[in-house]
Amino acid sequence: MSSEESVSPPNPTKEPRKSSLIARFFSEYGTLPALILLCVWFAWVTTAEQRPSGADGGRQLASQITREASKGSTVLIATRENREDAEFATALREALERDGFRIVAVVQGEPSSARQALLRVAQSGTPLDIIACSQGTATWAVFDQLGAVSPNLARAKVLQPHSYRGSNFLKTDNLLNIANQIAVIAIIAIGMTLVIITGGIDLSVIPVQNTPPLPRC
């Protein structure tokens, strides 16, 4: 019996078989990696500075205030008058009151409304510790030089949610918008796929799709 180990000859069909499998994969599923690359590209080119808004922004700012201020601190919430800022203010107020902070006023409107709320706080003699703002209200000029308005407002800090780098393409609202736009085409494509799999063919899809809805009598 020979002590030398037998060496199997190279298989010349191994590489061609591997290449054929790769070619078959891309011929049958080539659209999938193309769509993935397209989504990655859109996510990259739409990357920009993001600021949390709505209820999520309110909860994040509440966590930030809890870390930076002591319980019992007085807070004035200033937001604009829209649905997103209303959700922001509601979530922020609930979280702060649960953590033991004192909400002296909630302003939803214009800078003039914020000025009136600041004057009422100053006249009440209550020291104001924090002014919690949404993205749109943090830059209001009414919050500059608060010490000149009243000594009770001199130490108030204007806080807003921290910004981060994120993709506009991957936002939930944008993805839902894309899904709504392709819903009709997706339903038709699924139906056509089932027809072709069962061995049939349907040429009436386009006429049916382009037929306007009939008015109700």
What is the average pLDDT score of the chain? 83
**What pLDDT is recorded for position 1?**
47
Distance CA(197)–CA(203), nearest Å, equals 15
Would you tell me which CATH number, out of the four given (3.40.50.2300, 3.40.50.720, 3.65.10.10, 3.40.50.2030), belongs to the domain 54-166? Answer: 3.40.50.2300
Full DSSP string of 49-99: EE---HHHHHHHHHHHHHHHS-TT-EEEEEE-SSHHHHHHHHHHHHHHHHT
Distance CA(165)–CA(160), nearest Å, equals 16
Q: Please report, rounded to a whole number, the percentage of residues in the chain having pLDDT higher than 90.
A: 40
**What pLDDT is recorded for position 171?**
84
Residue range(s) occupied by CATH 3.40.50.2300 in the chain: 54-166
Q: Is the pTM of this model over 0.75?
A: no
DSSP state for residue 3 in the 8-state scheme: -
**What pLDDT is recorded for position 184?**
82
Q: Best-predicted range by mean pLDDT among 73-87, 142-156, 177-191? A: 73-87
Distance CA(143)–CA(157), nearest Å, equals 9
Show Cβ contacts of residue 185 under 8 Å, excluding neighbours closer than 6 positions: none
Q: Best-predicted range by mean pLDDT among 44-58, 94-108, 185-199? A: 94-108
